[in-house]
Amino acid sequence: MAVTDRGGGVIATRIVLGLTGIAVAGYGAVLLWDNPPVVITRILVWAVVGVAVHDLVFAPLCAALGLAGRRLLPVGWQSPVAVAGLCSVVLVLLAIPVYGKPGLRPDNPTVLDRDYPLGLWISLAVVWLCVPAYYAATRRLPVRQDDVVEHERADDVERQPPAV
């Protein structure tokens, strides 16, 4: 049953957070409005394209991969593979800017002085090596995650105390 009265502190906190959000959004709008119309148009196009790519490409792809993972992977592997997949996406997104080599000029060799593709591959390898390590560690635990629940039946519910 939902609690209808959460107290004055929760209401005050929500009001303060809401007003803070409105103030920050207003400040962002003022900063945005100072740009010329060409820049505002480019920002709007990038915002619309970003939402469209997310909704039409990335979200369905993630849903399909999640569904396939639920059907193909054993239960014990599903969580670590999902976490490793999320970490991989974050690492790849963080690596995108350095693949374009912004600011790299012959007169400034210190700008991108590392082998960033190798670093990305090493990071991805570490992430994916953690998957079997996590699985092996959880297999060695004396009680598994669902071990207690699996030995219960649907009618093994103890009598609950009366509601107050």
Q: Where in the chain are the domains? A: 21-72, 74-141
**Residues 114-141: what's their mean pLDDT?**
91
Residue 138 contacts residue 102 (beta carbons within 8 Å): no
Of 1-5, 8-12, 59-63, 159-163, the least confident: 1-5
Cα 25 to Cα 22: distance, rounded to the nearest angstrom: 5
Instruction: Evaluate if residue 155 carries a pLDDT over 70.
Output: no
Residues comprising the chain, all counted: 164
pLDDT, one tens digit per residue, over 69-125 is 999 999 889 999 999 999 999 999 999 888 777 777 777 777 677 888 899 999 999
Please tell me whether the overall predicted TM-score, pTM, comes out greater than 0.85 for this model: no
